[in-house]
Amino acid sequence: MSSSANAAGTDIAGYHQLSLDEQLAIARNGTAYFVQHLARVSDDDLAGSSLLPDWSRKHLVAHVGYNAAALCNLMTWAATGYETPMYSSPAQRNEEIDEGSTLGAQALRNLVDHTAARLDEAWRNLPTEKWDAQVKTIQGRTVPATETAWMRTREVWIHTIDLGAGGSFADLPEAVLIDLFDDIVGAWGRKGSGADLRLITPVGITDVDRHFTGDRIEVRGKLSAVVGWMTGRTVDCVRTSTEVTAPHWL
């Protein structure tokens, strides 16, 4: 979205344009946001459905907890140079979430608190010169350790909405919305999807594939509403020129 923002003549900074301290603060605030909304969900309601297909709220909470533990592995990798992947395999990740969903409500709440504290400690203790160390995501991307802040930011802010306890894309920091927009457009481009879309927000107009020559489907709204639509979570507060569903991005 930064390219669109620049084209519109605005000075809006995306997440990755912020300092590392600012990025980490947003990630920590996102964890607090998740915990705040999790507290609104009763123990009995944790067994109910989340907004994600086939996942209960217990699955979702287990995932957020274990995600922090997985990012701790990457921080260990950055600190020591010893390869420590997030998960041994995608299957191990899925099995961990399924097993975590069988835990009691208080155990799940404790899991989120404990693993978030571990990750925060790992962030605080990593020497400055180690933040550029290269680690690998579960998708196989090689990234600097600084990227763990963005990886955690995406998880906690978006999955708070998936709890279905009052979270909204309108609550996300604008810098996060801008880089989520960019991430999704990039993912669509890699998959060859979304080329027929024109996304129109107050910070600019984006043709997902500028080489597309047919009639485009317009999706209009506030940045938060359009990003919510792009993630497949919400359709409220966006206007489309014809009925259309956002392509998958993950």
pLDDT tens by residue, 90-144: 899 999 999 999 999 999 999 999 999 999 999 999 999 999 999 999 988 999 9
The topology under which CATH files domain 17-167 is Four Helix Bundle (Hemerythrin (Met), subunit A) (1.20.120)
Token output for 161: 């909405």
Can you tell me the distance from the alpha carbon of 150 to that of 175, in angstroms, rounded to the nearest whole number?
Answer: 11
Phi-psi region of 221 (alpha: psi -120 to 50; beta: other; left: phi over 0): left
Which stretches of the chain are DSSP H helices? Answer: 2-7, 20-38, 57-80, 90-100, 105-125, 147-162, 174-191, 223-230
Grouping H, G, I as helix, E, B as strand and the rest as coil, residue 63 is helix
pLDDT score at 204: 86
Q: Locate the domains of the chain by residue range.
A: 17-167, 174-240
% of the chain surpassing 90 pLDDT: 80
Query: Burial level of 172, CB count in 10 A (0-12/13-18/19+)?
Result: buried
Q: Which fold, 174-240?
A: Nonspecific Lipid-transfer Protein; Chain A (3.30.1050)
Residue 39: Cβ within 10 Å count: 10
d(CA 41, CA 48): 10
Give the separation between CA 15 and CA 74, rounded to whole angstroms. Answer: 20
Q: What is the pLDDT of residues 147-187, one digit of tens each?
A: 999 999 999 999 999 999 999 999 999 999 999 999 999 99
Q: What is the pTM of this model?
A: 0.92
Residue 241 dihedral angles phi and psi, to the nearest 5°: -75, -15
Q: Give me the helix-helix angle, 147-162 and 105-125, nearest 10°.
A: 160
Q: Are 91 and 190 in contact (CB under 8 A)?
A: no
pLDDT at 218 over 70: yes
Residues 195, 213: Cα–Cα separation, whole Å? 9
**pLDDT confidence tier of residue 214, bands split at 50, 70 and 90:** confident
Phi, psi for 239 (deg, rounded to 5): -115, 135
What is the structure's pLDDT at 11? 61
